[in-house]
Amino acid sequence: MTTTTTHDAPTAFRGRQMLNKVPEITVYFWVIKILCTTVGESFADYINETLGFGLTNTTLVFSAALVVVLVAQFALRRYVPPVYWSVVVLVSVVGTLLTDNLTDAHGVALWISTTVFTALLILVFGVWWLRERTLSIHTIVTTPRESFYWLTVLVTFALGTAAGDWTLELTGWGPGPSVILPAALILAVLVAWRFGAGPVLSFWIAFILTRPLGANIGDYLGSSHADGGLGLGTFGTSVLFLAAILLTVVYLTITKRDVIEEVYAHRPGAPSAAGVGELLPSIDDSAVRRVLVISDRTGATPELLRAIEQRAKQGPARFRLIVPNPAQAEVHLLHPERHDKAEEAEGVLEQATPAIEKAAGGKVIGSVSIRHDPMDAVEETLHNEPFHEIIVSVAPHGVARWLHQDLPHRLRHFGLPITPV
């Protein structure tokens, strides 16, 4: 009797796996985020002050509602706009109330609240990074990652409230001028991102800043004319923005404009992402190992060809090449830059494929990922396809490499053999 050694590819992600539970970061995301933060300010004030619930009762009511919608959110296996944005609305209210309780009920100074929430946010980010090696929201595909995400969102709302109120306390600005500072800072973050600032850092800074922006907009709309506002009141402002959120969420639910494309950009004749996922696991020879090759150079560099050739000589292997999208524009998913640059990368891949296949000694499936960040590109591929090892051909960054936080070191988190080029 002959014994056959099998080499089933390990699962990269531990635990329950899902589709990404967070919408794509498009203009719609930021519009609804600001709407939600405005509601968080105005609706909490309306329930607490106008209806006379009191700060403690208002906090208990909205905290209970948040628990209910969080249970529904965690039970889902994919992003569902009405549930997701219901959580964001309630988190915005509860985050506001956390700071209000510290300030109004316990007399904690705003500078202390700001400092404490900043330290807490750094702690959450630190634990999240140590466990997952990424803070990107493009791969919220496991329950632990989703837990970190919502905890971070809650802390950012509380921090944004404290920092925003502290700024107003220091400056003495009225409702109108108070909108200018957070709006200008968000614009500065956008410009920095477009000039190459880290997308993950830029996202979270902007995410925090939308809290004081939304709150100040709410104050401007709700305050009386005598106080420099438009006089809509907290109830009118809440109804207006809740209606805007509802209409936008209905639109996104129908059009799916904030859901990523189902397929990768791929060279002519190559299967789609789904097709690849079906092809690789169906290989009859169980001794063939699946090797993922990630390269941000969009071509067959001599170093990469040598690494593939050396790996092919070690034993049967099937190679899968992924190139991140050179464009990082995410204003909307159909932004011309995303697809124009993806097509340019596809052209390079098409020219390089013969040399890569010669080095591999067989057919190589190559495609351009929808993601700009190499870590995101690798993680999305590992989520859809099983692999035994990874070859990384990405230019190292000095500081990240010195801190052992460059891509090869981060990918070792998955427990797969990594060959850096």
Taking the CA atoms of the chain, what radius of gyration do you get in angstroms? 24
What is the overall mean pLDDT for the chain? 81
Residues of the chain within CATH 3.40.50.620 domain(s) are 265-420
CATH superfamily of 265-420: HUPs (3.40.50.620)
4 has a pLDDT exceeding 50: no
Calculate mean pLDDT across residues 47-57: 81
Q: What's the pLDDT band for 43 if we cut at 50, 70, 90? A: confident
**Contact (CB, 8 A) for 192 and 182:** no
Model pLDDT, residue 52: 79
Higher pLDDT, 127 or 163: 127
Q: What's the pLDDT band for 18 if we cut at 50, 70, 90? A: low
Can you read off the two tokens belonging to residue 31? 């519009």
Calculate mean pLDDT across residues 316-339: 72
Calculate mean pLDDT across residues 173-197: 85
**Can you tell me the distance from the alpha carbon of 281 to that of 198, in angstroms, rounded to the nearest whole number?**
35
Calculate mean pLDDT across residues 167-177: 82
At residue 266, what are phi and psi to the nearest 5 degrees?
-140, 155
Q: Which residues pair with 392 in a beta bridge?
A: 294, 420
168 has a pLDDT exceeding 70: yes
Q: What's the pLDDT band for 13 if we cut at 50, 70, 90? A: low
Q: pTM here? A: 0.82
Q: What's the pLDDT band for 53 if we cut at 50, 70, 90? A: confident
Model pLDDT, residue 286: 64
Nearest residue to 132 (alpha-carbon basis) of 415, 386, 414, 416: 414
Calculate mean pLDDT across residues 357-367: 89
Model pLDDT, residue 88: 92
Report the range of poorest mean pLDDT among 40-49, 254-263, 315-324, 384-393.
Answer: 254-263
Can you read off the two tokens belonging to residue 293? 């090759």
Q: Which residues pair with 14 in a beta bridge?
A: none
Can you read off the two tokens belonging to residue 241? 């923005």
Q: What's the pLDDT band for 274 if we cut at 50, 70, 90? A: very low
Q: Could you give the percent of the chain with pLDDT greater than 90?
A: 24
Calculate mean pLDDT across residues 332-342: 63
Model pLDDT, residue 261: 52
**Can you tell me the distance from the alpha carbon of 198 to that of 132, in angstroms, rounded to the nearest whole number?**
18
Model pLDDT, residue 269: 44
Calculate mean pLDDT across residues 198-220: 85
**Can you tell me the distance from the alpha carbon of 85 to that of 89, in angstroms, rounded to the nearest whole number?**
6
Instruction: Give, in order, the Cα–Cα distances in Å from 156 to each of 83, 95, 345, 394.
Output: 20, 8, 37, 32
* Tens-digit pLDDT profile for residues 220-247: 887 777 777 788 887 888 888 889 999 9
Q: What's the pLDDT band for 278 if we cut at 50, 70, 90? A: very low
Calculate mean pLDDT across residues 29-36: 89
Calculate mean pLDDT across residues 148-158: 93
67 has a pLDDT exceeding 60: yes
